[in-house]
Chain A
Amino acid sequence: MANSGTTPPVISAPVVGLVGNPNSGKSSLFNLLTGLRQRIGNFPGVTVEKKSGVLRLEGLPDVEIIDFPGAYSCYPTSLDERLVVQELTNPEGDLFPDAILYVADITKLDKHLLLFTQLRDLDLPMILVLNMADLAKETGLIVDVERLSLQLGVPVIPVSARENEGIAELRSAVTDLLRNPKKYRPEEPFYEPGAQARDVLADLRQELPARNDYHALLLTHHASWLKHIPEETRHLVQKARVSRGFHSLRAQVEETMERYDTFEPIVKDSVRRTGVNASTSDRLDNLLTHRVFGPLIFVTIMLFLFQALFAWTGMPMDFIEWFFETLGSGVRDTLGAGWLTDLLVDGVIAGLGGVLVFVPQIAALFLFISILEEVGYMARAAYMFDSIMQRFGLNGRSVVALISGHACAIPAIMSTRTIANWKERLLTIMVTPLTSCSARIPVYIILISFAVPEGSFLGMGYQGLAFAGLYFLGILAAMLSALVFKLILKSKERSFLMLELPEYRTPVWRNVGLTVWQKVRTFIVEAGQIILLISIILWGLSTFGPSADMAAAEANASRISVEQSLSEDDAADLLASERLEASYAGHIGKFIEPVIRPLGYDWKIGIALFTSFAAREVFVGTMATIYSIGSADDELRIRDRMAEEINPRTGQPVYNPATAWSLLVFYVFAMMCMSTSAVTKRETGGWKWPIIQFTFMTALAYVSAMAVYQLMA
């Protein structure tokens, strides 16, 4: 049945694919095998997040391990699953693995072997990894590994990624497999295509770039969307399917049933259950998914989560703040006054400090969310809120995105790939950026102090309540926007829940740690780059200006100084502010000012808004740059500098509650993150949706901020 015998004895740059059902513990195994030698990139063409890593084996070149997304079968329903089929049916592709480590949950062999038998029939060298071996002992499961291996025709290695057991055996099995891949090829297929499929294959077998009959069959099923199938072949396939009356869905059901019939006896033969397991998971679910207590517990967990976020991160945040202040004054003392010092201290260090101070909160948020995910709670939340979500045009699975969106919209949007229904997925992508991501935290904290007085009510601080209110406002806006989109967009596609509720498990701390580390590192690197860039540009724009304007500003400043006989310090401040107004940044701010005046903003805030559209976390750094220029007093923090700002027209502070609230509301709603727009474009496959998303969010922000200002002023 195999048509190629060209595999060299030792592969030069071996690629091993890690494949398995969702919840098989595949990623734990991946983390264990590769440690920190991981790269996160994109799958070519499809731009779905790709995790790959390096496995070092004795006597072999570095092995690339690709952690494929979880899939149930070769008949994909979600984008994640499509990717697996796409890559595994394309032997010419870069990601086509030389061998597969198929990961199955030892306690769910009766389900997890379906995809295994399908991939086996694609004629790929394979090892069956039985993960969660530790659970087998607990639940009284006895697996006759040798018998299973004999009947399935592949090496079977029980491991526990959680307990770090069986890894040495697995490594030596992989070594052996890569040395003699031929030895690991199947002798006979698990499934022979039925009568109908045989007819259509008779027509197409020669036309399709297939390694064997089953490969050809899968191409026949999926030719219409597989990227490596040329257009003319697609037509051929379509014609043959019609003329032979090939019914894809029926053929799939028939194949699946037959496969179950083949491997079920094998599982029964080699797996024995001793004793009944009244599992703790069931007892937990009696409470956690209870009709009344379930949602209440969910709300409590969320409240606790956000409370903890602010209560537990004070100390590291104070430390980081102190560090950057010390660094700033250190640099100023060392370098002395000058433009480079201003750029470094006011632009770069203040800007970086303003954002990095929130790393503890961001880390904590990712920590909590990945724990909820690891434990298995997210699936329960999806189950409980599915019907509510449906009313808003979303899916139960959208809950996961809406919760993770509070950390960062980017991974949240990527998590929607498990939603099979396109409309539900699109809606989730569109509204997720309305939830308050961690980049909004710095903006909120600075502005809330101007918007809300200190003090407390029933033991809860006003400012804390306002903070919670902003989060709630984000969620509310997300749900209501989804409802509006639901009414506008029409779709006949069926929607599914069909959600697995995996057993509760204590989290694997290695996985949690790795996730937090990767996310925080990405945040620091990306925020760092953009802040550095924008600080420099902004500094340039606010220091230089059209020469005629700058000269006029200087002349004007010195004239007023003489007229009003100002002190030396005041004269310097006046000069600086006149210069800022005449600079390029000032021109930009002035240009925007008429548009934002109804919102209660002046041209300086205009500059901050302008830069924030790159990434909202830039706000604090921009404020630092704008308000520090010319100020002789370097000891003040950004907040204090803002508090000193006086509106020249009214003589009142610029940051009064009305303006602060208006700004807050603007930052809750506005789409101010280029990275999110880029991800939306990637995930929706074009510019249409990111543009709509940007427009509706920004329009919402503008109108609401105006309403707030006009009502309060």
Chain B
Amino acid sequence: MPFPRITAASHFDVGTAGTIDRFTNENLAGKLLDIGVRPGSRLRIIRKGPFGGSWYVKIDRHCMALRKQELACIMIK
């Protein structure tokens, strides 16, 4: 299911996927870019952590754990 419009990744449910449009926080952007998360990457939310907080996502083909606050600054189109 595609995302309807540009929205923060933290608003989406397990199983949704979209393409990263931009980041809203420069500090996080630097780090995300370093680990290979960048505009144009495909992001899919795989599952939420056992105790909330951290989410299991797939960026392109690579698995990654991101916190909800971290996902909140990733805008998806």
Footprint of B on A, CB under 8 Å?
72-73, 75, 77, 108, 110-111, 114, 249-250, 252-253, 256-257, 260, 277, 281-282, 285, 289-292, 294-295, 379, 382-388, 390, 396, 494, 496-503
Contacts and interface: CB of A to CB of B under 8 A. Distances in A.
B-side interface mostly: mixed
Best-buried of B29, B34, B61 by chain A (most CB within 10 Å): B34
A73 B70 CA distance: 19
A170 to B, nearest CB: 25
Given A77-B31, A257-B38, A497-B70, A289 B47 contact: yes
A384 B49 contact: yes
B54 A386 contact: yes
A384 B55 CA distance: 9
Given A256-B33, A383-B56, 18 more contacts: A75-B30, A110-B36, A256-B38, A282-B63, A291-B47, A291-B48, A379-B65, A384-B49, A385-B51, A388-B51, A396-B54, A494-B27, A496-B31, A498-B65, A498-B70, A500-B35, A501-B64, A503-B63
B26 A72 contact: no
A289 B64 contact: no
Interface string B47-77: 1111111101000111111110010000000
Contacts, number: 111
A540 B4 CA distance: 81
Nearest to A113: B36
Best-buried of A257, A496, A502 by chain B (most CB within 10 Å): A496
A497 B66 contact: yes
A537 to B, nearest CB: 50
Contacts of A383: 49, 54, 56, 65
Contact of B35 (A72, A294, A387): A72
A291 B70 contact: no
B65 A386 contact: yes
A342 to B, nearest CB: 57
Interface residues of B, number: 32
A131 to B, nearest CB: 16
Interface of B: 26-36, 38-39, 46-54, 56, 60-67, 70
Contact of A73 (B34, B60, B63, B66): B34
The 3 A-B residue pairs with the shortest CB-CB distance in the complex, in nearest-first order? A387-B53, A111-B36, A383-B65
Given A295-B50, A386-B53, A281 B31 contact: no
A295 B49 CA distance: 10
B51 A111 contact: no
Contacts of B48: 291
A500 B27 contact: no
B56 A501 contact: yes
Nearest to A390: B53
A253 B29 contact: yes
A387 B54 contact: yes
Given A253-B30, A498-B31, A111 B62 contact: yes
Given A250-B26, A253-B33, A256-B34, A387 B65 contact: no
Contact of B49 (A72, A386, A494): A386
Nearest to A496: B31
Contacts of B51: 295, 384-385, 387-388
